[in-house]
Amino acid sequence: MKQLRPAVLAGIFAVAGVLSWAGARLWNAYGTLPGVPLAAPVVLGAIAVVLLATALSLRARLKAQRERRPGAKGVEPLMAARAVVFAQSSALVAALVAGLYGGVGVFLLIDGLEVPARRDQAWYAGFSVLAGAAVIAAALFLEHVLKLPEDDDTTPHSPARA
């Protein structure tokens, strides 16, 4: 499994932001812009907390296992693989969602914040972007915790015997 690259996540964020900004402009020209839900930053924040708690728990278990503490509970490989998949998928979705809300937030800032409802929507969009960044940071940390050491085996393998 390949490690996520922050450049890919930044690209997803930027493309989603530009498309969202353009879509918000178009939508606003034909009617009212749909709102940014208050639950968006709350849900993203909860996902960030779960990812961070998982990373800290697994890091402590791996450290205890490396130090050969008596009664240390190891990490099952399948559980570690599932945690990495959860981290990577969460980071990808958070980059997309943060980009979408970031684009809407930029549109709201450019369009003007005279209406109190739009000001609140801009705040919710900003908090959603921050919570999305927290999810990405926690996911990359979890991925770092579960990264396997590099294989330093430089000895040539013997050819297969017939």
Rg (CA), the chain: 21
CB atoms within 10 A of CB 91: 25
Buried b (16+ CB within 10 A) or exposed e, 41-61: beebbebbeebbebbeebbeb
Q: What is the pTM of this model?
A: 0.85
Q: What is the pLDDT along the chain (162 residues), one digit of tens a residue?
A: 788 899 999 999 999 999 999 999 888 888 777 788 989 999 999 999 999 999 999 998 888 887 777 777 777 889 889 999 999 999 999 999 999 999 999 998 988 777 777 888 899 999 999 999 999 999 999 999 988 766 455 555 555 544
Q: Which of 103, 63, 90 is nearest to 111 (CA)?
A: 103
- The rounded Cα 13 to chain-centroid distance in angstroms is 11
